[in-house]
């Protein structure tokens, strides 16, 4: 197989914990031709989408150790027609640049894209999770998305509990996620102004207000999903005095085994993910509720592998091989 990772640059990887490195290493170890491509190296020529790629040299014994593989890897520059690849694996850092999807639109039928363009587009921000159908409030915390300050303020005022979560619609890595305490309402107007308008009054942003899910102080659960199945999970525990469990916000990873209720929930969500063209994703769960679906470049593979007999990257590359064989 020829597989192209549209990814952050190789030298930006953290070889001891990088999930993209594990995936590239697994592909290369099986003899698949790996190309790395940063999204700023996409181009169109003769109406064909191409990339100024870095082609991995496979003419040497690839180390079994991903960190040694990282150090030893050699690349040569090659301009490639992306429609000639078998797989394009999106591993870019968030936020997603929608123009990248425009480049890929024309090759959607030629390549197996993980995730599909439709899936990436639809699940690109937190509206995706907010729009899941859950009339009984069984697995999505009550969520309100708006730019209307008075409406959001009213939601907070009329809310039963003593706190809620506020976050920007387009956030990632825990950025801008805060707890709103109802006994500190005097801050709320100013915060809503800031979240909606930032520092520029001619622009506005959507804001999410969400029920605070009890138990979040003990951490959240990150699940890696492949097709419609959960592969494994970790618990991410927030740093002291912190509400956010993201590793990039100081959270630490702990062993975690999904309980039966969580497995059921993941399978239920998984059916919808596949329908939407999302084949590889990371779910954030708290107290058996779905907080977020991460579709662009979910991480945590190194830590989740602690608990697994077969590492995730091996299951993912099995899956890619199957999907490419089906296509052919």
Report the alpha-carbon distance of residue 151 to residue 63 in Å, rounded.
Answer: 57
> Which of Mg ion, ligand ADP, none does residue 216 bind (CB under 5 to 8 Å by kind)?
ligand ADP
Q: Which is nearer to ligand ADP, 129 or 313 (CB)?
A: 129
Report the alpha-carbon distance of residue 48 to residue 40 in Å, rounded.
Answer: 16
Q: C-alpha angle 194/192/156, rounded to 5°?
A: 160
Q: How far is the CB of 212 from ligand ADP (least distance, A)?
A: 5
DSSP 141: -
- How do beta strands 2-7 and 87-91 pair? parallel
**C-beta of residue 32 within 8 angstroms of C-beta of residue 325:** no
Q: How far is the CB of 291 from ligand ADP (least distance, A)?
A: 5
Q: How far is the CB of 100 from ligand ADP (least distance, A)?
A: 19
Per CB under 6 A, does 116 bind ligand ADP?
Answer: no
Q: How far is the CB of 129 from ligand ADP (least distance, A)?
A: 8
Q: How far is the CB of 238 from ligand ADP (least distance, A)?
A: 6
Per CB under 6 A, does 281 bind ligand ADP?
Answer: no
Among 18, 26, 276, 292, binds Mg ion (CB under 5 A): 292
> Which of Mg ion, ligand ADP, none does residue 250 bind (CB under 5 to 8 Å by kind)?
none
Q: If you write DSSP's letter for every residue of 8-68 in order, what string do you get?
A: S-GGG--TTT-HHHHHHHHHHHTTPEEEEE-GGGEEEETTEEEEEEEEEP-SS---SSHHH
Per CB under 5 A, does 220 bind Mg ion?
Answer: no
> Which of ligand ADP, Mg ion, none does residue 140 bind (CB under 5 to 8 Å by kind)?
none
Helices (DSSP H) in 276-305: which residue ranges?
Answer: 301-304
> Which of ligand ADP, Mg ion, none does residue 222 bind (CB under 5 to 8 Å by kind)?
none
**C-beta of residue 183 within 8 angstroms of C-beta of residue 163:** no
Give the interface segment with Mg ion, choosing from 99-107, 161-169, 224-232, 285-293 (CB under 5 A): 285-293
Report the alpha-carbon distance of residue 314 to residue 173 in Å, rounded.
Answer: 26
Closest by CA to 209, choosing from 235, 177, 254, is 177
Q: How far is the CB of 169 from ligand ADP (least distance, A)?
A: 10
**The two three-digit tokens of residue 243, written as one number:** 């509400």
**C-beta of residue 99 within 8 angstroms of C-beta of residue 305:** no
Report the alpha-carbon distance of residue 125 to residue 47 in Å, rounded.
Answer: 30
Q: How far is the CB of 244 from ligand ADP (least distance, A)?
A: 4
Residues contacting ligand ADP: total by CB under 6 A: 23
Q: Which is nearer to ligand ADP, 127 or 213 (CB)?
A: 213
**C-beta of residue 251 within 8 angstroms of C-beta of residue 238:** yes
Q: How far is the CB of 222 from Mg ion (least distance, A)?
A: 8
Q: Among residue numbers 203 through 232, which ones bind ligand ADP (CB under 6 A)? A: 210-213, 216, 220
Per CB under 5 A, does 284 bind Mg ion?
Answer: yes
Q: Among residue numbers 165 through 184, which ones bind ligand ADP (CB under 6 A)? A: 165, 167, 171-175, 177
Report the alpha-carbon distance of residue 43 to residue 124 in Å, rounded.
Answer: 22
Q: Which residue has the tokens 């590239």?
A: 24
**Interface residues toward Mg ion, by CB under 5 A:** 284, 292
Residues within the interface to ligand ADP (CB under 6 A): 141, 165, 167, 171-175, 177, 210-213, 216, 220, 243-246, 284, 286, 291-292
């Amino acid at each position: 197989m020829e597989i192209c990772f549209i990814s952050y640059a190789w030298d930006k990887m953290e070889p001891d914990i990088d999930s993209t490195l594990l995936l590239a290493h697994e592909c290369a170890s099986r003899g698949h031709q790996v190309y790395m491509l940063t999204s700023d190296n996409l181009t169109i020529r003769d109406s064909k989408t191409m990339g100024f790629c870095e082609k991995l040299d496979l003419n040497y014994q690839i180390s079994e150790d991903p960190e040694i593989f990282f150090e030893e890897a050699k690349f040569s520059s090659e301009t490639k027609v992306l429609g000639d690849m078998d797989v394009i694996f999106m591993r870019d850092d968030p936020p997603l640049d929608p123009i990248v999807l425009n480049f890929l639109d024309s090759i959607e039928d030629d390549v197996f894209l993980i995730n599909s363009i439709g899936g990436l587009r639809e699940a690109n921000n937190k509206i995706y999770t907010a729009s899941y159908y859950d009339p009984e409030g069984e697995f999505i915390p009550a969520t309100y998305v708006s730019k209307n300050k008075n409406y959001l303020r009213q939601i907070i005022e009329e809310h039963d509990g003593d706190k809620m979560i506020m976050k920007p619609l387009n956030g990632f890595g825990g950025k801008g996620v805060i707890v709103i305490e109802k006994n500190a309402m005097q801050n709320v107007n100013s915060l809503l102004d800031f979240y909606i308008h930032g520092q520029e009054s001619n622009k506005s942003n959507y804001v999410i207000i969400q029920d605070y899910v009890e138990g979040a102080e003990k951490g959240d659960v990150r699940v890696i999903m492949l097709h419609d199945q959960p592969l494994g999970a970790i618990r991410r525990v927030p740093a002291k005095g912190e509400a956010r469990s993201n590793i990039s916000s100081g959270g630490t990873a702990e062993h975690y085994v999904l309980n039966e209720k969580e497995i059921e929930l993941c399978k239920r969500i998984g059916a919808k993910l596949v329908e939407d063209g999302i084949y590889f994703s990371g779910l954030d769960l708290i107290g058996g509720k779905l907080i977020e679906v991460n579709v662009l470049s979910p991480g945590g593979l190194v830590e989740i592998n602690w608990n697994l007999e077969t590492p995730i990257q091996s299951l993912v590359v099995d899956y890619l091989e199957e999907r490419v064989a089906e296509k052919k």
